[in-house]
Structure 1
Amino acid sequence: MTATDQGPRAIAGVIAALGWFALALQLVLIIAATRAAGGSAAGAVLNYLGFFTILTNILVAAVMTTTALGRPPSASLHGAATLSIAVVGLIYSLVLRSIWDPQGWQKVADALLHDVVPVLAILFWLAFARRGALKASDIPVWLVYPLVFFACAMARGAVDGWYPYPFLDAGRIGYRVVLQNAVVVTAVFAALAAVLVGLDRGLARLGRKSPPGSA
């Protein structure tokens, strides 16, 4: 995809708009819920930014925004955003979806952040990402993000007892189980990263084999 591709840029703009709307909506909801429980708006923002889902949706919204503006990110950064949002959707569906039942506007925010944006971001990468630019050496770089998030989540939890997800709640399930969960999630990240790189190479080969003017 180039900076002059109007169709992909328009689609990226739609995804960006959905992402920013969902993020803003979730921020309003978490501030309202926190203040209703006697907490502060500052504390609500701190918790908001403590979720991997939120940070990753910010990353995807930023990537889609720059793409819509004709300044697409590097292939590696686009791959990292796509990989991370895919993990968000997967972990939510497999682990978290069954343990709560959001209602009203919270259900709207939940669906956008965990379902709609992940699916659209993955489809956008499949359809429009520059091909053949990802490398196996990108994988360890991509893993830095979830590992840093894990370290920060554990550090904060040790200080104030707040953990973003039940499978990271060391106060409830213990550090040994948390570490096991972290290893599993990291393995999922690495496996999906390898799939992403493999897909990129496979699609690049298919593109080179396609005759001129083919779809």
Structure 2
Amino acid sequence: MTPARARSVHLVVAAVAWFALVFQLVLVFTGEAVLVETDPPGLAARIYRYFAYFTIQSNILVAVTSTMLAREPARDGTRFRVARLAALVGITVTGLVHFFLLRPLLDLEGSNWVVDKLLHMVVPALAVVAWALVGPRPRADLRVAAYALVWPIVWTIWTLVVGQVDGWVPYPFLDPAEDGWGAVGIACAGITILFLLLFALYTWLDAKLRPAPR
């Protein structure tokens, strides 16, 4: 695929991701709540919780890196490589965890349903397909993967520590009040393994697939 076509593909991904992020932020400002059905928190707490979700952070990474690629489809550099690989793995985990763990717990309607599908299904699918079609590749190696892994590790530690302070965690499987720390530990171990497998998979595919864009 040519750089011109790659630019168009990345532009579509960026536009959808930014739209979904702004859409969800508007719902936050208007007092909509997804996982909090009663007694929603104040605006400041809602904004913090918005940015605390791994879903939001992974979508932001996709939106930012896709915007950069829409301007320069062959963009490179160590920092960009780390951010791009983190975005791909993070958004893949977002889609998988939502489908298998969170989707059965949610009963959404209207705008909440629409934005939920955009953030958890549409953007993940678009981001992975765009990478498969237009890259940029090659960009990943073990060093890049190691740096990219820092983000989810820091996010997990921050989430668990802050959760003990204010009693709120973004996802029920990280709440020790539900089934205890043993269940939280199992969930963290399982997700960590998923991250490691995905980092290894994307790094391997990055080397095996045809370089892109041409």
TM-score over 0.5 for the pair: yes
Q: 2-side partners of 1:185 and 1:139: how far apart?
A: 16
**RMSD, aligned CA:** 2.2
Equivalent in the alignment of 1:108: 114
Match of 1:14 among 12, 15, 27: 12
Q: 1-side partners of 2:154 and 2:131: how far apart?
A: 25
Match of 2:132 among 114, 122, 126: 126
Residue 132 of structure 1: CA displacement? 3.1
Give CA deviations for 1:86-120 in whole Å, capped at 9, x if unaligned.
11101111111111121101111011101110011
> Alpha carbons of 1:155 and 1:82: their partners in 2 closer, same or farther (altered >3 Å)?
same
Q: 2-side partners of 1:87 and 1:196: how far apart?
A: 12
Match of 2:64 among 38, 62, 65: 62
Q: 2-side partners of 1:55 and 1:157: how far apart?
A: 18
Residue 38 of structure 1: CA displacement? 5.5
Residue 135 of structure 1: CA displacement? 1.1
State the aligned residue count. 204
Q: 2-side partners of 1:30 and 1:65: how far apart?
A: 24
Q: 1-side partners of 2:40 and 2:82: how far apart?
A: 43
Q: 49-58 or 132-141, which moves further after superposition? A: 132-141
The alignment's TM-score, normalised by the length of structure 2, stands at: 0.87
Q: Which of the two has higher C-alpha Rg?
A: 1
Gaps of 5+ in 1: 208-214
Q: Which amino acid is 1:47 matched to? A: R
Q: Which amino acid is 2:198 matched to? A: L
Indicate if the aligned counterparts of 1:161 and 1:171 stay in contact, CA closer than 8 A.
no
Match of 1:117 among 115, 120, 123: 123
Equivalent in the alignment of 1:211: none
Q: Which amino acid is 1:50 matched to? A: A
> Alpha carbons of 1:59 and 1:118: their partners in 2 closer, same or farther (altered >3 Å)?
same
Does 2:83 correspond to 1:77?
Answer: yes
> Alpha carbons of 1:93 and 1:149: their partners in 2 closer, same or farther (altered >3 Å)?
same
The alignment's TM-score, normalised by the length of structure 1, stands at: 0.87
Does 2:163 correspond to 1:157?
Answer: yes
Higher relative contact order (CA 8 A, sep 6+): 2
Equivalent in the alignment of 1:212: none
Q: 1-side partners of 2:166 and 2:40: how far apart?
A: 17
Equivalent in the alignment of 1:49: 51
Percentage identity across paired residues of the two chains: 35
Q: Which amino acid is 1:33 matched to? A: E
Q: Which amino acid is 1:91 matched to? A: V
Gaps of 5+ in 2: none
- Residue correspondence of structure 1 range 118-197 to structure 2 within 5 A: 118-197=124-203
Give CA deviations for 1:121-167 in whole Å, capped at 9, x if unaligned.
00111111133332123332222111111011011111010010011
